[in-house]
Structure 1
Amino acid sequence: MTSTDAASPLDFPPTPAVILAGGLARRIGGGDKPMREIGGQTILNRVIARLAPQCCGLILNANGNPARFAAFGLPVVADSVADFPGPLAGILAALDWAAEQRSGIQWIVSTPGDCPFLPRDLVARLHNAQGEQDAELAVAVSDERAHPVIGLWNVRLRDELRQALISEGVRKVDRWTARYRLAAVSWPTAPFDPFFNINTTDDLAEAERLVALDATAA
C-alpha cells in the first residue's frame, strides 16, 4: 500500500479510533472546538469522515454532558483522571474502553478532534511501521515534527499509562512514549500538512482555504 492509497481495515488488525475532543479550547474562545464549522461542515464531521473507513469503530473522548454529541451516534467516553490532565487521559480512557467493551482488540488509534484533513492511509501506515520495526507504539510525523497525539497505542500498556498519569504526574505525551520502542511515520506536506490543526481564529480561516485544496487533491 502506498502513502496515497485509501486504507482498508482488512490490511491490519481491527483497530478502533478515539477522537480526543476533551480540550478546553482556550485559544479559540472556549467551547467544543470540533463543533466549529469549516466549509459548511463541523470539524468533527470531517474527522469522522476521514477515520471511519480506516477503523472498526470510533469513540469520542470528551468531558461534561455527552448529550451534546448525540447527533454523531458515537460512544462518548470521559476521562477517568480528574482535572483535565491532557490527551494522555483521553488515550487511557480509550484503552480502558477497548479492554472492557471490545474483547480481543489490541490496538487503538488516537487523533485530536481539530485535525480535519487527516491522511486516508493513517491507520494502515502506523500499523505497517509498528510491525516492520517491532515497535510498541507508533506516532505520526510531518515536516520533521512529531504529532504525539496522533498515534497507535497498545491496549496492554493501559495500566502502565495509568501509573504514569496518577502516581508519577506525567502529562506530556512524548515524555511517556519515550519509555517505549516508538515508530515514527512521516507524511508529505504537499499540497498541505495533513495534520494541520485548528487552535485559533486565524487557523479557522486557513482551514477554510484548505478545504478547497483538499477537494482538488482527493
Structure 2
Amino acid sequence: MTSPAPNVVGCVLAGGLARRMGGGDKTLKKLAGRPMLAHVIERLSPQVRRVMLNANGDPDRFSHFGLPVEADPVEGFAGPLAGVLAGLEWVKANEPDAEFVVSVAGDTPFFPGDLVTRLLSSGLSPRDIVLARSDEGMHPVFGLWPVSVTDDLRDFLENGETRKVLAFVDRHPNRSARFDAVSTETDTFDPFFNINTPEELEIAEALYRGKAA
C-alpha cells in the first residue's frame, strides 16, 4: 500500500458545473451510491499529508467532507491553474513546511492509487513540475506543483496573455510520468477517465462494478 507523502498536500479541483449532466455540482453526482467527490477524496487521502478542496461559490455545500475549501484567488474564469494557485497559496498559509501540491480532478474517480509516488519519483529536482500522461495524452490537471512556483503562477494568471496550463508549465523545469491503462475483470480503460455526461456516469458505474476501484 502506498504511504502518504509527508511533503505533499492534495488539492481536489471540485468546482466544475455539470452543465452536460443537468446542472449542479458535477462532483456531487452519485457514483455507486456516494458523491463522486467522496471516491476522489478516498483515493487521494492515503497518498498525501492532507487534502483540501478548490471550489467557488458557497463552501457549505462541501461541509460534510470536513475539508478546507478554497476559492479561486484570481478573478474571472481562469481554468484549472486558478485552482492550482488556490492550493499553493493555501499550503503556504497553512502547511508552510510542505514542498508540493498535487492537483487532481474531482470528476476522475479512478486515477492511480500510486499517483503521488510516481509523480514524485519522475522529477529530477525539487523544482520540477511533473504532469501525468497516459495513452490518451497529457493530463495537465493531474500534476505535482512545487510551492516555489506560487508567485510566478499568480503573476502568470494576472498578467499573462494566456491561462493555458502547458504554457505555464513550459516556463519551468518539467517532466511527465506515464501511467498505463487499467484492466479489470471486464474492461480496460484509461485511469484518467473523467465523467462529463450521463452516459459517462453510466460507464463509470459499470467500471466500478467491474472492480475498477
Cα gap change, 1:144/1:198 in structure 2, threshold over 3 Å: closer, same or farther?
A: closer
Q: Secondary structure at the match of 2:181?
A: coil
Q: Does 1:182 align with 2:174?
A: yes
Q: Does 1:150 align with 2:139?
A: no
**Aligned counterparts of 2:108 and 2:194: Cα–Cα separation in 1:** 5
Alignment of 1:21-100 (within 5 A): 21-100=14-93
Q: State the match for 2:201 in structure 1.
A: 204
TM-score (norm 2): 0.92
Considering only aligned residues, what root-mean-square deviation do their CA atoms show, in Å?
A: 1.5
Q: State the match for 1:8 in structure 2.
A: 3
**Aligned counterparts of 1:178 and 1:212: Cα–Cα separation in 2:** 39
Gaps of 5+ in 1: 1-5
Contact 1:14 1:105 in 2 (8 A): yes
Q: Does 1:121 align with 2:118?
A: no
Cα deviation for residue 40 of structure 1 reads 1.2
**Aligned counterparts of 1:169 and 1:25: Cα–Cα separation in 2:** 28
In proportion to residue count, which structure has more strand? 2
Q: State the match for 1:167 in structure 2.
A: 159
Q: Secondary structure at the match of 1:56?
A: strand
Q: Secondary structure at the match of 1:14?
A: strand
Identity percentage of aligned residues:
46
**Aligned counterparts of 1:170 and 1:72: Cα–Cα separation in 2:** 34
| Residues matched between the structures, number | 208
Cα deviation for residue 21 of structure 1 reads 1.0
Q: Secondary structure at the match of 2:7?
A: coil
Cα deviation for residue 176 of structure 1 reads 1.1
Cα deviation for residue 29 of structure 1 reads 2.8
**Aligned counterparts of 1:8 and 1:166: Cα–Cα separation in 2:** 37
- CA offsets 1:62-109 (integer angstroms, 9 cap, x no match): 000000001000000001111221110010011000011111111000
Q: State the match for 2:186 in structure 1.
A: none
Structure 1 runs of 4+ with >3 Å offset: none
Contact 1:16 1:58 in 2 (8 A): yes
Q: Secondary structure at the match of 1:162?
A: helix
Cα deviation for residue 30 of structure 1 reads 2.6
**Aligned counterparts of 2:126 and 2:147: Cα–Cα separation in 1:** 16
Deviates more, 1:44-53 or 1:188-197: 188-197
Contact 2:122 2:130 in 1 (8 A): yes
TM-score (norm 1): 0.90
Cα deviation for residue 190 of structure 1 reads 3.0
